[in-house]
Amino acid sequence: MGEPLVSIIVPLYNGEQTIERCLTSIRNQTYKNIEVLVVNDGSKDHSMKVLKKFRDSDPRFHILNKGNSGVSDSRNLGIKNARGKYLQFVDSDDWITKDATQTFVSTAETYNCDMVITDYHRVVNHKIYIKGHIPEEGLVSRRQFAEFMMKAPANFYYGVMWNKFFRTDIIKSHKLKCNRDLNWCEDFLFNLEYLQYVKDVYVIKTPVYYYVKTKGSLVATQVNLRQTIRTKGILFDYYKDLYKSMDIYDENKLRIQMFYIAVARDTGKRKKTPPSPETTEKTKKFSSKKSILHEDEAESLLAVTKAEKRRQEKKAEKKTSEIKAEKKLLEKKAEKKISEKRMEKKLSEESTEKELSEKKAEIKSSEKETGKKSSEKKAEKKTLEKKAEKKSSEKKTEKKLPEKKTEKKSLEKKAEKKFSEKKVEKKFSEKKSDKRQEKNILESPVL
């Protein structure tokens, strides 16, 4: 299996002063299987000349032109056209080390992780600082990464896209996009959405990206303070959803709420370069401050925060009154429903009583019919019993009849025997009588 393709997306707007350095650092990558998608966001300077030079000399470079609509749209167009297995982002005024892409790919392929994150170099007035937040290199779970992130929710390290390596399939399958309605923290929002679908993150401590902080940048000026607070409100909801999905919201609730007043910063250790006397003086002056804002900016932010708090309180009061009104309305509806139910119950009871009386009458009628049927059955039973008795007596009679016949025959035989005996006696007596007469005749004198 060959080396996976990496799509490197570079959004560009009027970057003629820095784009050549940026693209040269990409062209010099030790990892060669890349496609570079430079999205020209309607630049009005000579940026296109530089782009065409790179495109004409290296077929891996592609130009995507569009009207000026912001960095989010530019990144989204790059994502749409990306063909690589992995996505890497580079801003037009920054540059990367020659082994940056190789480091990302090797780590992602070796550990089969869904995201790789690295420390980075921060460049301010030609001074370089090393920035990071997670203390140790290695593979961490999404939950562990989220817990680290909550220790510094406004830190650049977690918010930006250019120090991270993404899987294209996760982004495209879940239709993830940069929010074009935000002009600050749009990449932070993208990262929070992406983390919803991540299992593991690999942390690299070696910096591979050079972030150039310039005057007037969005981070330095914090855009519009009201806009900042509004954006943080949106991010707060995403933070909340992410931490609730991992069942760690309650334990981090206070930290998430502190995100409202945290200022986006990229604090970290500076490279070992001797500071100038001017820098030392500034460091002493602002050593007590935790924000990158000046004192007047901090006061402004505090004032806006208080105003925002009051606005939120008023909003809460309004919501409370609306809830009360809604509650009253619901109570009235409930009362109406209860009265309707009572009426319904009454009607139901009346109809039930009617049904009950009808059922009773039906039962009585049924009982009468049952009684009639029962008496008929009893009479039928008696008739059957009588018939059975008669049949039984007839059977008994039939049984006795041959006995009587036998007895009669026996009597007749006895009578016949007696008669024959009498006949014999009679004959015997007649014979005796005849003999006597004969004797008498013989004995009587002759006349």
Q: How confident is residue 424, by pLDDT bands cut at 50, 70 and 90?
A: confident
What's the pTM value of the predicted model, to 2 decimals? Answer: 0.57
| Phi and psi torsions of 165, nearest 5° | -125, 120
Mean pLDDT within 332-352: 85
Q: Which of 50-59, 145-154, 304-313, 365-374 has the highest mean pLDDT?
A: 50-59
CB contact set of 84 (below 8 Å; sequence gap of 6+): 4, 5, 6, 7, 34, 35, 168
69-78, 198-207, 235-244, 389-398: the lowest-pLDDT one: 235-244
Strand pairing report for 127-131 and 34-41: unpaired
The Cα 16–Cα 82 span in angstroms is: 24
6 - beta bridge partners?
A: 34, 86
Q: How confident is residue 282, by pLDDT bands cut at 50, 70 and 90?
A: very low
Residue 416 has pLDDT above 50, yes or no: yes
| Phi and psi torsions of 221, nearest 5° | -90, -15
The Cα 21–Cα 177 span in angstroms is: 28
Q: How confident is residue 437, by pLDDT bands cut at 50, 70 and 90?
A: confident
Longest Cα pair distance anywhere in the chain, in angstroms?
Answer: 220
And the tokens for 225? 């303070």
Give the dihedral sign, CA 200/206/209/214.
Answer: positive
Kindly list the domain boundaries of the chain, sorted by start residue: 406-440
The Cα 295–Cα 325 span in angstroms is: 44
Give the whole-number percent of the chain exceeding pLDDT 90: 38
13-17, 56-60, 101-105, 333-337: the lowest-pLDDT one: 333-337
Q: How confident is residue 162, by pLDDT bands cut at 50, 70 and 90?
A: very high
- DSSP H/E element including 137: none
Give the whole-number percent of the chain exceeding pLDDT 70: 75
Helices 225-245 & 142-151 angle (0-180, nearest 10): 150
And the tokens for 361? 């009458």
For the stretch 226-277, pLDDT in tens is: 555 556 566 666 556 666 666 665 666 656 555 555 544 444 444 444 444 4
